[in-house]
Structure 1
Amino acid sequence: MAAMADISENLANELWDTAHALADAARAAILPHFRAHGLDAENKQAEGFDPVTVADRAAEEAMRGLLAARRPEDGILGEELGITSGSSGLTWVLDPIDGTRGFLSGTPTWGVLIALSDETGPRLGIIDQPYTGERFCGGLGRAEWSGPLGDFALSTRRPRGLDEAILFTTFPEIGTDVDRTAFTRVKDRARLTRYGMDCYAYALLAAGQIDLVVEAGLYPYDVQAPIAVIEAAGGIVTDWEGGPAHEGGRVLAAANAELHAEALALLQG
């Protein structure tokens, strides 16, 4: 089993080359469908609305095809096509469109999530927004993002009190009643709370634009790429008990340890 701490520079470069190729392939598969008239979605839930589109499936199929050619020994966990076992001890965790509701609505707040993980969690991550041309990368010695204005280093915001912080979550009706009560304790102390950004909120945290993301009901493919990107930028991501968050569930992402501790105390009551 591969130990990520022992990865050579050459292998790290190979893994990054593969990750960027996956993001490029997903962009090419998705963009023809974005804001296309007549785009429809299937609902994956018997109750509620969890949409999937032809773009989701096409992007994951494109990424899986590349991995079969370039890294056939690695495992894959994808939102749409499930688990493919590997022998290397490394797993690519793929969410072809995180924020399909936003995608259907025409907002550029969805993204492609790509992580590479071992048994301890994510070690490399990409949050890619194809429409705006932004790509946020973290792990294996890198913390960088690129966009229409150029290339930049990723760095989270300096420590500040919660009363000066900007907080994001995707859904106002976060999690269970107990989760909502805990979230409200944080929201009521924050300077500004915004909603509905999906994975783009995590990218903004890594880029130093906001301070906190608090969510519940996540899956591994929702959070593993953001964890790698945010930690590389100097932030911290845990569950609401302060433990590892890479299996999903309730997630607290913060720009720094001080703010994380303040928010965590409120979530725990």
Structure 2
Amino acid sequence: MTVIDISAFIGRLATCSGETILPFFRTSLTIDNKGRSDFDPVTEADRAAEAVMRRLIKESFPQHGVVGEEFGNENTDAEYVWVLDPIDGTKSFIAGFPIWGTLIALTHRGVPVYGMMNQPYIGERFAGDNKAASYRGPSGERKLGVRRCAGLQDAVLFTTSPRLMNDADRATFGRVESQVRLTRYGGDCYCYAMLAAGQIDLVIETELKPYDVSALIPIIIGAGGIITTWEGGPAYQGGRIIAASDPRVHEAALKLLNS
């Protein structure tokens, strides 16, 4: 497959999943709770969108594997595996806020090589292939690039919610939060898209699954940013994740996270 083939097919997945999701948005939804103790919602829109994408992948690339949030894993030993999160930010989705997105990644031998975050309600797409990243939306098309930030004292930090962290991680996160210029909560995948777009400097989260982050890695790297675990390792298996716009901010935050 060429980059053009991948880009075109992921665009098709984004279009079809978006067309499936939008009729559900800001309507009365049946909401199930997947969580055992915490509220972890899933809707008909999540399931329908993932089913559409899985069907298209099987029709076009039957030899490929699929990892999805709603319907599990298939053929994960394949050379190429698709990693899907039909609605990242379901809590925002059910509340009617448009800070959710569909995450679509293609991995090669386990490593994400192309990713897209699609927000069909606003009409925005953020995509990357580890070498470059791009934006397409109502304002047109452009190359994505992170902004430079000299240190934590100048940084804007995002996390979806500190309440999603355990007590120890929340305290560790607080050490970084106390050093930055501004902290905001919420956003899920949109935080990472805004980092790639040069709007913010740092995203720190915990307990992410591979489908939460795989699509975002090529976008961040392609835009010139850094995304690792808190220990500085590869991020594609999920876990405790830090994304930064500038190596100086990444290094400073890692020191606090591991002090």
Q: How much does 1:86 deviate?
A: 5.9
Q: How much does 1:17 deviate?
A: 1.2
| Structure 2 gap ranges (5+) | none
* CA distance in 2 between partners of 1:251 and 1:107 (Å): 24
Name the aligned partner's letter for residue 248 of structure 1: G
Q: How much does 1:142 deviate?
A: 3.7
Q: How many matched pairs?
A: 259
Name the aligned partner's letter for residue 136 of structure 2: S
Q: How much does 1:229 deviate?
A: 0.5
Name the aligned partner's letter for residue 89 of structure 1: E
What TM-score results when the alignment is normalised by the length of structure 1? 0.93
Name the aligned partner's letter for residue 22 of structure 1: L
**Is residue 95 from structure 1 mapped to residue 78 from structure 2 by the alignment?**
no
Q: How much does 1:174 deviate?
A: 3.9
Q: How much does 1:158 deviate?
A: 1.1
Alignment correspondent of 1:253: 243
- Match of 1:173, SS? helix
Alignment correspondent of 1:222: 212
- Match of 2:20, SS? helix
* CA distance in 2 between partners of 1:88 and 1:236 (Å): 27
Q: For the aligned residues, what is the CA RMSD?
A: 1.2
Identity of aligned residues (%): 50
- TM alignment of 1:79-158, pairs within 5 A: 79-85=69-75, 88-139=78-129, 141-158=131-148
Alignment correspondent of 2:13: 22
Q: How much does 1:88 deviate?
A: 4.5
Q: How much does 1:84 deviate?
A: 1.1
Matching residue within 233, 250, 253 for 1:263 = 253
Q: How much does 1:217 deviate?
A: 0.8
* CA distance in 2 between partners of 1:264 and 1:198 (Å): 21
Name the aligned partner's letter for residue 110 of structure 1: W
CA contact (8 A) 1:77 1:92 kept: yes
Q: How much does 1:140 deviate?
A: 6.0
**Is residue 47 from structure 1 mapped to residue 37 from structure 2 by the alignment?**
yes
Alignment correspondent of 2:23: 32
Name the aligned partner's letter for residue 148 of structure 2: R
- TM alignment of 1:183-222, pairs within 5 A: 183-222=173-212
Runs of 4+ more than 2 Å apart = none
What TM-score results when the alignment is normalised by the length of structure 2? 0.97
Name the aligned partner's letter for residue 45 of structure 2: A
CA contact (8 A) 1:60 1:94 kept: yes
Name the aligned partner's letter for residue 199 of structure 2: Q
